[in-house]
Structure 1
Amino acid sequence: MTIPGGDKRVTLADVAKLAGVSKQTVSRVVNGSAHVTEDTRERVLHCIETLGFRPSALARQLSTGRSQTIGVVSNGGQGYLVTGVAYLGMVRQADRMGYALLIKEMVDFSAGSVRAMLDFLIERQVDGVIWAGPEIGDSHAWLDDFDLASLPMPLVAINAKARPGVDTVSFDNFEAGRLATRHLLSLGRRNIGHISGPANRWVTQQRVEGWRAALAEAGLPEAGRNLVEGDWDVTSGGPGLRRLREICPQLDAVFVGSDRMAIGVLAEAHRLGLRVPEDIAVMGVDNQPESAFLIPPLTSMTQDTPRMAEVALRLLVRRICERRGEPYPEACAIPESPVLYHDLVVRASTLCSKSPTR
C-alpha cells in the first residue's frame, strides 16, 4: 500500500510520524504488546487504517523470531505428502492454523547433506520441520544418533520406524501385512505368496514381517519362503507372479505390495489362463481409484495419507506451542495417536462363490 497522494510504500516511520509516537511504539501495537496505553493503541491503529499500512512479515519475523513457516522435507520426489490430495489437505490445515509451508527435497542423505538441509531451514527460521519422505535404506539413519534437542525447532518424521526421542507419524505396516494375510487365510488359502516392494524400504520390511507372522500363527511358517521382491511398478507384477509359481507350484493366493504391481499380476494371470479368484486370489495395497474398476475388482487396503499429513502437522504445531509455552490452536488441542491403520476393502479378486480347488 502507498501513502495517499504518494508513490512509496507506507512504513513504520510514516505511521509513527502521523501518530506522534516512536517506531518502537508502533511496533509494539502491531505485535500486540501489552506495554502500550489504550489511548496510544487506538491512535496508532487509527493511523494504520488511515495510511493503509501493512506490517512486513519479514520485519515481524526479525522482531519475534517466528516465521509462521513449516519446512517439509521430501526424499528426492518420493515424499508422501508433497503432491496430490495429501499435500492440499496439509496446506489447508496449515493455513487454518496460521502457517505456510516451505517444501525442500533431499537426494543425498549423507551426514553433511542432512546438516546442510537443517542449517538451511534454521537460517530461514522455520518454526518446525516435517521429514516427509519414506524411510529408504539409510535415508533416516541420521535420526538414530542426532540430538534433536539441539535444534531450535521441533521435528516430526513421517512413516519412519519408531526411535527414542523422535516424534513419528506412521502407518502400522506390520499390521497391514498381517491383516492382508489373515484375510486370505480366512478364505481357505494356504499357499500365499507375497510380492513385496523394494527390500531396502522400511515399509516393505514391516509388511513382510507381518505376512510371515500371520503365516506362522496359522501353522504355515514354511510358506514364508514364497517371497519375491518388486519395485512398486506395474511391470514387476507379472514377473513376480511367474517367479512365485516357480517357487510354489501350488500357489493359490498373492498378497501384492501395491495396487500397481497387482495390476501386472492380474494381467499375467489372465495370460496364463488362471482364474481370479477361483484359481488364485489377488490383493494389493493403496486402494487406488482404478482398483475398483479392474476385472475382477481388486481387493486392497486403504492408507489415508491425507489424514497422516494432517496428524503430523497437528503434532508438530503442538510441539511448537509446547516449546513457546503457548496454548494449542483448537485444531490440535486434543492429542492424536501417531500410529495409523490400513482399512481392508474386500472386492471380487479374493472372493468367489466356491472354495478354491486344493
Structure 2
Amino acid sequence: MNSAADKRVTLADVAKLAGVSKQTVSRVVNGSEHVTEDTRTRVLQCIDTLGFRPSALARQLSTGRSQTIGVVSNGGQGYLVSGVAYLGMVRQADKMGYALLIKEMTDFSSGSIRTMLDYLIERQVDGVIWAGPEIGDSHAWLDTFDAASLPMPLVAINAKPRPGVDTVSFDNFEAGRVATRHLLSLGRKNIGHIAGPTNRWVSQQRVEGWKAALAEAGTSEMARNVVEGDWDVHTGGPGLRRLLEICPKLDAVFVGSDRMAIGVLAEAHKLGLRVPEDLAVMGVDNLPESAYLIPPLTSMTQDTPRMAEVALRLLVRRICERRGEPYPEACAIPENPLLTHDLVVRQSTLCGKLASK
C-alpha cells in the first residue's frame, strides 16, 4: 500500500488549492497567454507548494510538442552519434530544452526510409537530423524531397545542397583545393589523388577541388592522375600501385581519407619509397591515430562536433519559425552551414622542424 508521500500530485490538487479550474492550471503549465498575471502567480505558488510535476506525456498530448529531436544515423558509425560530437549535441539540446531520440538504420532503401520517417512522425518528434551516410537511398531521396510533406522540419548532414532542403556540411571542394595547394607549395611535380567512391558527392567535390588547384597552378595535365578507392584502408595500397602505373614519377599523393592513407604508407614501405623524401602523402579526417603513424600523417581536420551543434541549432531555428516563436539564445544568430577543414601539417609531407606535431 502506497503512503501519502508516494501519492502523485495532480492538476486537480493544484486547482483545488489555487481555487481555479483544472483547465486554468493546464493553461499556466503550458504557458498560455489566456491567464491573468494574478492567477498565474497564484497557480505557480501552489505548484511550488505541492511539488507538482507536469506529465510530459500529458503536455505532449495537449500541445502537440514532444520537445524531442530525432537523429537518424547508421548503426553508430555516422557523423554525429558517437563520441565527442554526440555528447556536445546532447548538451546543446538540453540547454535549449530538447531531448534526442537516436535511431539507427542498416538498410537505407526507400522503403526503410519511409518506415523510419513514419516512426518519427508517430512519436511526434519536433524535428529530424538526417545523419545517414551517402549509401543506398540515404541521400538520393532528398532529390525529390518536399519539405511540406513532413509535419516537422529536417536538416541533412554532409549532403549536397538541394533546393528546399536544409543541409550542414563540410566544404569538400575547398578541402581538395587546400590539400593540393599544400603539395604544390612543396615543389612536388607529379601529384596524384586517391579518391573515395566516385559516385559520392563528397568524393566528387574533393576531386573538383583538386583539379581546380592544379588548374590554378597551370598543371592541369596532372588531372589524369586520379584513381578510385572506397575510404577504407585496404584500397590505399592498390590505389598507390595504380597511380604509379599511370605516373611512374609520382612524388606526392592526396588521399581522400586517412584510412586509405594508412594503406598508402604501408604500400610505400613495401615498395621502398621513402615518405616524404620520395613520396609526400596526406589524407583527410585527421583521425586520432594519424599523429602516431610512421611518419605522422599530414591531414585535414573535420570539426564534427561543431557540425553536430550547427545542425542542431539550425533545426531548432526551423522549429521555432514553424511555431512562430522566438529563437532560443543559443541559435538566435544564423550560422554558415558550410564548414571548413583545417590543414594539419606533419612529417608525411614535410621533414624536420617544419612539420607540426
Measured against the shorter chain, the TM-score band is over 0.9
Mean alpha-carbon deviation: is it higher for 240-249 or for 89-98?
240-249
- Name the counterpart of 1:90: 89
How many residues in Structure 1 have an aligned counterpart in Structure 2?
Answer: 352
Deviation at 1:51, TM superposition (A): 2.6
Kindly indicate whether the alpha-carbon contact (under 8 Å) linking 1:136 and 1:202 is maintained by their aligned counterparts in 2.
no
Letter in 1 for 2:300: M
Q: Deviations over 1:178-232 (max 9, x none)?
A: 1111111111112111122223322112112221222233333332222222222
Distance between the aligned counterparts of 1:212 and 1:11, measured in 2? 67
Distance between the aligned counterparts of 1:163 and 1:323, measured in 2? 20
TM-score of the pair, normalised by structure 1:
0.92
Mean alpha-carbon deviation: is it higher for 150-159 or for 34-43?
34-43
Deviation at 1:255, TM superposition (A): 0.6
How does 1:149-168 map onto structure 2 within 5 Å? 149-168=148-167
Unpaired stretches in structure 1, ≥5 consecutive residues? 354-358
> Against the structure 1 CA distance between its residues 248 and 172, is the aligned structure 2 distance closer, same or farther, given a 3 Å change threshold?
same
Identity of matched residues, %: 88
Q: Deviations over 1:236-259 (max 9, x none)?
A: 222222222122211100111111
Q: Deviations over 1:106-141 (max 9, x none)?
A: 333333332222221111111111111232354212
Distance between the aligned counterparts of 1:95 and 1:246, measured in 2? 54
Kindly indicate whether the alpha-carbon contact (under 8 Å) linking 2:113 and 2:138 is maintained by their aligned counterparts in 1.
no
Determine helix, strand or coil for the equivalent of 1:9: coil
Mean alpha-carbon deviation: is it higher for 94-103 or for 285-294?
285-294
Letter in 2 for 1:132: A
Kindly indicate whether the alpha-carbon contact (under 8 Å) linking 2:109 and 2:136 is maintained by their aligned counterparts in 1.
no
Letter in 1 for 2:281: V
> Against the structure 1 CA distance between its residues 222 and 77, is the aligned structure 2 distance closer, same or farther, given a 3 Å change threshold?
farther
How does 1:13-162 map onto structure 2 within 5 Å? 13-136=12-135, 138-162=137-161
TM-score of the pair, normalised by structure 2:
0.92
- Name the counterpart of 1:356: none
Kindly indicate whether the alpha-carbon contact (under 8 Å) linking 2:177 and 2:213 is maintained by their aligned counterparts in 1.
yes
- Name the counterpart of 2:200: 201
- Name the counterpart of 1:268: 267
Determine helix, strand or coil for the equivalent of 2:309: helix
Determine helix, strand or coil for the equivalent of 2:4: coil
Distance between the aligned counterparts of 2:243 and 2:48, measured in 1? 72
Distance between the aligned counterparts of 1:131 and 1:138, measured in 2? 12
Q: Does 1:256 align with 2:255?
A: yes
Mean alpha-carbon deviation: is it higher for 194-203 or for 61-70?
194-203
Q: Deviations over 1:271-311 (max 9, x none)?
A: 22211111000001111222222222211111111111111
Letter in 1 for 2:301: T
> Against the structure 1 CA distance between its residues 232 and 6, is the aligned structure 2 distance closer, same or farther, given a 3 Å change threshold?
same
> Against the structure 1 CA distance between its residues 136 and 174, is the aligned structure 2 distance closer, same or farther, given a 3 Å change threshold?
farther
Letter in 2 for 1:198: P
Q: Does 1:329 align with 2:337?
A: no
Determine helix, strand or coil for the equivalent of 2:308: helix
> Against the structure 1 CA distance between its residues 270 and 314, is the aligned structure 2 distance closer, same or farther, given a 3 Å change threshold?
same
Mean alpha-carbon deviation: is it higher for 302-311 or for 202-211?
202-211
Deviation at 1:39, TM superposition (A): 4.2
Deviation at 1:10, TM superposition (A): 2.1
Letter in 2 for 1:251: L
Deviation at 1:98, TM superposition (A): 0.7
Mean alpha-carbon deviation: is it higher for 140-149 or for 85-94?
140-149
- Name the counterpart of 2:300: 301
Letter in 2 for 1:127: D
Determine helix, strand or coil for the equivalent of 2:265: helix
Kindly indicate whether the alpha-carbon contact (under 8 Å) linking 2:65 and 2:124 is maintained by their aligned counterparts in 1.
yes
Letter in 2 for 1:259: D
Distance between the aligned counterparts of 2:106 and 2:347, measured in 1? 40
Deviation at 1:49, TM superposition (A): 2.6
Deviation at 1:312, TM superposition (A): 0.7
Kindly indicate whether the alpha-carbon contact (under 8 Å) linking 1:97 and 1:331 is maintained by their aligned counterparts in 2.
yes
Kindly indicate whether the alpha-carbon contact (under 8 Å) linking 1:66 and 1:127 is maintained by their aligned counterparts in 2.
yes
Distance between the aligned counterparts of 1:306 and 1:286, measured in 2? 13
> Against the structure 1 CA distance between its residues 107 and 294, is the aligned structure 2 distance closer, same or farther, given a 3 Å change threshold?
closer
Distance between the aligned counterparts of 1:84 and 1:342, measured in 2? 19
Deviation at 1:159, TM superposition (A): 0.5
Distance between the aligned counterparts of 2:316 and 2:73, measured in 1? 19
Deviation at 1:76, TM superposition (A): 4.5
Kindly indicate whether the alpha-carbon contact (under 8 Å) linking 2:110 and 2:137 is maintained by their aligned counterparts in 1.
no
Mean alpha-carbon deviation: is it higher for 329-338 or for 223-232?
223-232
Distance between the aligned counterparts of 1:337 and 1:129, measured in 2? 19
Distance between the aligned counterparts of 1:253 and 1:282, measured in 2? 6
Letter in 1 for 2:322: R
Letter in 1 for 2:296: P
Mean alpha-carbon deviation: is it higher for 13-22 or for 144-153?
13-22
Q: Does 1:313 align with 2:312?
A: yes
Distance between the aligned counterparts of 1:166 and 1:244, measured in 2? 38
Distance between the aligned counterparts of 2:76 and 2:4, measured in 1? 49
Kindly indicate whether the alpha-carbon contact (under 8 Å) linking 2:108 and 2:135 is maintained by their aligned counterparts in 1.
no
